[in-house]
Structure 1
Amino acid sequence: MSEQYPVLPGAEPFYAENGPVGVLLVHGFTGTPHSMRPLAEAYAKAGYTVCLPRLKGHGTHYEDMERTTFDDWIASVEEGYEWLKQRCNTIFVTGLSMGGTLTLHLAEHHPDIRGIVLVNAAIDIPAIRAGLAGGGELPRYLDSIGSDLKNPDVKELAYEKTPTASLLQLAALMEQTKAKLDRIVCPALIFVSDEDHVVPPANAQLIWDGIRSAEKEIIRLSNSYHVATLDYDQPVIIERSLQFFAKHAG
């Protein structure tokens, strides 16, 4: 399936080739690399090799997204992971929202990943389950879920509509990922916003309880909503994740 629409300005992927330690960054559902770009640039500036791919069907038009499956999104991150493997001997993964779900999926299948950083990662959104199980005819498109930010001066580059077909894919991805959390043993840094209108903050504890990592930490963000990577707590996320990489890079 090829995309029919051009990539939106600002939604381009980001790559930086530096040292032997790499970081893969994964953006969220209906979002674009734009939401992770400040982190990617900070990591690159700190000397890491960085890969921030654009997930298939994202960053163009929601009709493109509607035709993709969660396997397409997994393929996008696997491709980025392979790009890093050719250049680095140590790899970390950082993901926002569904990017966090995909980060968990990667860690379940690649035990050599050195550590993961999750920002408001999603493995259980009851509202989606309830909406999809409600019976009756669902509209083809729902309202946008993008740009849930506390800072009124910042806007996330995301789709203005959410394809219902894509929500079904997200639900399946979360279910599959949640079932295999006990495969994860690498160090994990889990950021969670106290107030999030997209992913219930309780997801952080579900992930914490599910993974078998000996080293895991939850950091609460008190001044950001869902897209915390673009919100007031962005400096905290950058600083603490860089400390995490430095500690575990060996």
Structure 2
Amino acid sequence: MMRLPSFLRRLPRRIALLAAALALVLLALRVWDTQRGPPLRPWHLVVPEELRAEAIDAADWPAYLAAEEAAFATVRAEVTGALEPEDRIPANRYFAGSPLHPARFARDWNRSFVLEPAGEPQGAVVLLHGLTDTPFSLRHVGARYAERGWVAIGIRLPAHGTVPAALTDVTWEDWLAATRLAVREARRRLGPERPLHVVGFSNGGALAVKYALDAAEDPRLPRPDRLVLVSPMVGITAFARFAGLAALPALLPRFAKAAWLGILPEFIPFKYNSFPVNGARQSHRLTMALQAQLQRQAAEGRLARLPPMLTFQSVVDFTVSTRAVVAALYERLPAQGSELVLFDINRNAKLGPLLTPATEAALERLLPPAPRHWRATIVTNAGPGQDAVLERSTEGGGTEERVRPLDLAWPREIYSLSHVALPFPVTDGLYGLDPDPAEAYGVQLGALAPRGERGVLAIAPDALLRLSSNPFFPYLLARIEEAIGPAP
């Protein structure tokens, strides 16, 4: 047998040493980067106790609400009631004297809620919010269901609405167990015959699809009749796959800040700004489980058992992968009545060379050629130089495109929607471009146009630049109403 040269025999060992040295360098850079940031505050350190998946599966709705109240009591006692003087400022939502403090409002939308219809429920809807978010994000959709005679159940998923530190000690299995509980409660209130919908926003969209897949396999789970998905988190960035490694230095107490991808001021009443590594890790674990189950059920020919889906997605989305919505979900669906609605960029924004070539071509790259098994709808400019928009739709199995003008238009200053904007009307009191003065949440984030001198704002101006409400929300709501059916 020919003997390998000595340098080739040593090559694997050298590669391993090089990889180890590179890992140490990256670890050192991570430690250095985290130590530069602001210190951890009480809301980054206090972890309220919440029910875990096994306990949630054994609980009913009142038991879940009791555990939720206990978590908020912990926040009141160990965060709000224990703030240092430097944290007692108007820009801190955890300061009881702040105009942003949720307890000051007529309703604290951080908590689970039930919206009852005026009469006998015609149906029920479960509302699943996104990561770092709260039931606040789907309150407008829930209100429309209630107006149409449905009972709307907005559940606060575990580790949300309290303090960002709660996300350091939660798993996606806890979120899915809460989804099962909310569906059980919806079906209990409704009986077995009337329709049940599940609406999911972002991470909640992934939970909605995962629940529907589970229900298709487990006859003990109530099966929803329709899914409505808003910016669903079917796939996320590759960085989240390795997010757990970024937290390794946090195993040493001195480097606890390494457990966080972002440590920011908490100035939004119903959403976290700070983001722990575990949040990204659990979302990645959820999307990997979801995609594996989709692939398996597609291979087994079982996806026809899924309920029809109506999905709203911006063509450009910094948080989730729009391509994954198409390739990992819709391209696997058989003909079962689903529809994907894509909101195009504003092609009359006059940005010229400032738009990246990838953005301009995003729509053309997303959709496979017709015919498709599902209805594809595009909301886009009516024509060159026009702010007005229209709907272009191709039915499942067909190739003919139908065009319908919409009584809506792009605001001239907006070049695209964003991941977070879709479930909020422009009149939303917190996020709207033209907020309703009757809704007071201490600040009007969506109406701010941060132009001025540096160092004036208590927060970074770039936090206010992302579009936070949807000028096409009336269209989104009207399409959901079609799925709800006629008012009683």
Equivalent position amino acid for 2:233 in 1: A
After TM superposition, the structure 1 stretch with the greater mean CA deviation from structure 2, 7-16 or 203-212, is 7-16
Counterpart Cα distance in 2 of 1:129 and 1:31: 18
- Mapped contact 1:194–1:221 kept (Cα < 8 A): yes
Superposition map of 1:75-224 within 5 A: 75-88=177-190, 89-111=194-216, 112-129=223-240, 131-132=242-243, 137=248, 139-143=258-262, 157-181=270-294, 182=297, 183-184=302-303, 185-205=306-326, 206-212=328-334, 214-222=336-344, 223-224=416-417
Q: Structure 1 residues 51, 207: CA separation in 2 closer, same or farther (over 3 Å shift)?
A: same
- Mapped contact 1:128–1:171 kept (Cα < 8 A): no
Counterpart Cα distance in 2 of 1:90 and 1:201: 29
C-alpha deviation, 1:12, in angstroms: 2.1
- Aligned-residue identity in percent: 23
Counterpart Cα distance in 1 of 2:238 and 2:145: 34
Counterpart Cα distance in 2 of 1:108 and 1:221: 26
- Mapped contact 2:240–2:284 kept (Cα < 8 A): yes
- Mapped contact 1:34–1:156 kept (Cα < 8 A): no
Counterpart Cα distance in 1 of 2:238 and 2:316: 16
Match in the other structure for 2:167: 65
Q: Does 1:243 align with 2:482?
A: yes
1:17 alignment partner, one of 108, 113, 116: 116
Equivalent position amino acid for 1:245 in 2: I
Equivalent position amino acid for 2:481 in 1: L
- Mapped contact 1:31–1:156 kept (Cα < 8 A): no
Equivalent position amino acid for 1:158 in 2: K
Q: Structure 1 residues 11, 214: CA separation in 2 closer, same or farther (over 3 Å shift)?
A: same
C-alpha deviation, 1:127, in angstroms: 3.6
Equivalent position amino acid for 2:337 in 1: E
C-alpha deviation, 1:10, in angstroms: 2.8
1:41 alignment partner, one of 127, 134, 143: 143
5+ residue gaps, structure 2: 1-48, 51-70, 77-93, 95-101, 103-107, 217-222, 250-257, 345-415, 425-468
CA RMSD of aligned residues (A): 2.5
Counterpart Cα distance in 2 of 1:224 and 1:158: 19
Q: Does 1:30 align with 2:132?
A: yes
- Mapped contact 2:179–2:207 kept (Cα < 8 A): yes
Equivalent position amino acid for 1:100 in 2: G
Counterpart Cα distance in 1 of 2:145 and 2:276: 33
After TM superposition, the structure 1 stretch with the greater mean CA deviation from structure 2, 54-63 or 65-74, is 65-74
Higher relative CO (Cα under 8 Å, sequence separation at least 6) belongs to 1
* Residues paired across the two proteins, number: 238
What TM-score do the two structures reach when normalised by structure 1? 0.86
After TM superposition, the structure 1 stretch with the greater mean CA deviation from structure 2, 94-103 or 107-116, is 107-116
What TM-score do the two structures reach when normalised by structure 2? 0.45
C-alpha deviation, 1:236, in angstroms: 2.0
- Mapped contact 1:118–1:191 kept (Cα < 8 A): yes
Counterpart Cα distance in 2 of 1:44 and 1:220: 26
C-alpha deviation, 1:133, in angstroms: 7.5
TM-superposition CA deviations, 1:163-186 (whole Å, max 9, x none): 101221111111111112235421
Q: Structure 1 residues 103, 136: CA separation in 2 closer, same or farther (over 3 Å shift)?
A: closer
C-alpha deviation, 1:143, in angstroms: 2.6
Q: Structure 1 residues 234, 203: CA separation in 2 closer, same or farther (over 3 Å shift)?
A: farther
Counterpart Cα distance in 1 of 2:246 and 2:274: 21
- Mapped contact 1:188–1:213 kept (Cα < 8 A): no
C-alpha deviation, 1:144, in angstroms: 7.6
C-alpha deviation, 1:210, in angstroms: 2.9
SS, match of residue 196 in structure 2: strand
